[in-house]
Amino acid sequence: PLYTSCGMSRESYPFAEDSFSRFPSQSNIYGLCQAGEQDLLAATLKGKVVCFRYQELQQKIRPVAKDVQFTYIPVDAEIVSIDAFNKSPPNRGLVVGITFVKVFSYLSSYIKGTILCVYVCRMHSECIEKLATFSLCVRVQCDDGGRETVFLLSGHDQRIHLYKENASLHQFEEQPVEKLFPELQPLPSNVLWLDVLSIAGGRRLSAFGCQNGCVGLALVDQTGPEVLESWRFQFDSPVSTVRLFPLNCKNECQRCHHCLLSSGAVHVCVFRDVQERGLSCPAYLSESDQWDAVLCALVIDLDFDGQKEVLLGTYGQELLCYKFQQALSEKDGQFELQWRRSFKSPLLSIIYLDSTGDGLRELAVLTLKGLHILQHTLTSTADLVLERLAQRVSTLSAAPHCALRAVHTE
């Protein structure tokens, strides 16, 4: 990959590539998920699932990518999506959901059907249930007498289907989506991306992007659940990415929530403070339309300053990083491009996780050709740790009596 600075020094770019795993066939935007604390699962269109992890080999931590065999997935199937989550205590185990396409032949007629398989336990257990006609696998947290994770799948029938675990039968069963997510019906088109974010006061924000360019946003009281407010916005092309995220601004006393949207080869926009403004005030990210369609996005704090950056992965093989800059005269400020990095194939998905288990997260970037693992540059990270330790020591030295009283009180 190639690095390009955008008006900043090279030291501002925080990553160095550690490894690259080439896949036997290409993946798609739904083909990467985190499995547990440190593992990644990447699905390829030709029915292969690759588990990526770091493990100790010959007294060194090395990256390892191995094929994982899931039962009930035919060798000629095409995997559409994959997702996974750890079961909440006291239950344990990893739950993996996979949707794949199988071509059935009957009297010289070919029918394509999409099947969902849900696997429980460690990567290879039995197939609990097989269901048909869905294309997208997403997981969200729902409040139903307690925290529980469910699968939401978008179908070609312009509906969202909800699957929840039946603990007594040890299987996932479909339930009416309106019981837990009334904001997800009716829908104007097939949903391509969905995001749900729990916020203060027992409420949540739900946002979805459709194939016809429609974007929906809703503020929901989860105790009902009841839709408090809802908004719609129309793009001219399919919506490829939807991200809800909080952002602390210097001139604001509380955390505000924003919605990032991308559609076709146009500017990515961020709707700021959607709880108060809905989808009425889009702020477009400059130069985000210069590298073809944006296929994936991630909002994380990369430089450890407490303010999150926006990462965009494009079909034009670029990884873009934006940071919000608060203006002195402008209330809202704007997102400015900090740096970009070129890859050799289109970017499909991005995940930020601690894959090595050393306490410092890595950036996993899925492209058409394989999986890149980018690590924070150790020199700049070590300098930052030493700088903050020195600041902490200086603060404690300036107020020793306050520090002693605090320790005694605890």
Distance of alpha carbon 327 from alpha carbon 377, whole angstroms: 30
pLDDT value of position 136: 53
Distance of alpha carbon 10 from alpha carbon 390, whole angstroms: 25
Distance of alpha carbon 336 from alpha carbon 341, whole angstroms: 15
| Every domain of the chain and the residues it spans | 187-299+315-342
pLDDT value of position 331: 57
Token pair, residue 405, equals 């009283």
Please give the chain's pLDDT, 410 residues, in tens. 555 545 444 446 789 999 999 998 999 999 999 998 999 999 998 888 999 999 988 888 899 999 988 887 877 788 888 998 887 777 778 888 888 887 654 444 444 456 667 665 433 333 333 333 344 555 565 655 556 788 888 888 888 988 888 878 778 888 899 999 999 989 999 999 999 999 988 899 999 999 999 999 999 998 889 999 999 999 999 999 999 999 875 555 567 899 999 998 788 999 999 999 999 888 899 999 999 999 999 999 998 888 899 999 999 999 999 998 876 544 567 889 999 999 999 999 999 999 998 889 999 999 999 999 999 988 888 888 888 888 888 888 776 554 444 444 44
Distance of alpha carbon 78 from alpha carbon 6, whole angstroms: 39
Q: CB of 137 within 8 A of CB of 81?
A: yes
State which fold the 187-299+315-342 domain adopts: Methylamine Dehydrogenase; Chain H (2.130.10)
